[in-house]
Chains A and B, each alone.
Chain A
């Protein structure tokens, strides 16, 4: 039983529907991770999803150091985020570089990644990905850290659930898969724009996303165009 007035909620959602432009699920998840990252105040945060091949990959990561978690775990097929997903349970590491559970990870990780924590992101009770945070120094995660992460993962689950409310599950999965597939192109375009215009990664991505939305194109398509234009410029 909920304590929600369905009629008042629907009347309010109708009002919201009239004024707010639609954004895709990937954009919403990016915003959610940005908010969560600010709230945590840790060194970085990210959201991984399992692709069609079952491999965990970053959909959103706040920085390059955090992204090294993905590459390292993809290579050795083990690690804190993989364990979080496979066991459908929170996993923490005081210092992943010296953690005896994953000795092969240390040399593959960015030196700035030390303490790692992950919680599962579920949809319909099943794990579909992980919410991860890391610290650049060893850190003893406590119960309150994990409870907060689980609460944020629960909100992310509700964003996914709401996105699925009238949309086919396959269409949602397609959007997520597209983001996973084209992320490399987007990241290369971000790197190009950072170098060309002296921007931070966040500024480059925000600019790219805004331009894509304004011109009703997908970020990946615009990113490919930026790279193609860049390749045609005189060196």
Chain B
């Protein structure tokens, strides 16, 4: 492995990690606050991507889709929380998990029926543009995706730490009974938190679509990595998740380059299993939210 290849793989892994982070952050919020294992998280990204596709097909700049996908996913989140998720919060983990798998199947196949199983791509202003640093080449689309990811993470952190809403969310996630005693509307907080959890995908969708393609099963590509990140980073630890995203992204990229045949994707998974064995609370400890 020469230096250029190493550098290129490093950059590619970090960029990929940034993309994983966007998806993991929202997942973490839902998991940390409501305790719901949202297996359908990737499918909500898919919805945002189809929104982007439709906008693009209408000859509008695909990045503008954010003005539709962001509010759409927020409201979807609020409604789902109200009618599907809050009613099952007292049920055992297995039932919750299976319901979310059911939701994932429903959304995926609904998309297949509406949009056909075909693949579609979206071209944005930056498509095909690259940035060159020495021998290392960076796709402009990926770089933008990366920047958005850092922004989303930063915004979430700021919201959780500095705003009234964030304080309430943290209070509910730490002790919902105590929070309700001091006058926090727990149900409302749940709905808002889940809404935000999905709305982050509404931001990601328009920026990820030009890098990938849109298809009904696009969400399932990301979901296992997103879960791995949440666990490696430590449940409820946003900063930990950000670092874990990069680690998983790097494991993914270096796995592809170093491991034989198509065994590359095993590396992130082995990383996950090792973390669970030796640091079951995550590399950086679960902090709650």
Q: Do A and B bind each other?
A: no
Residues of A within 8 A of B (CB): none
Could you tell me which B residues sit within 8 Å of A by CB distance? none
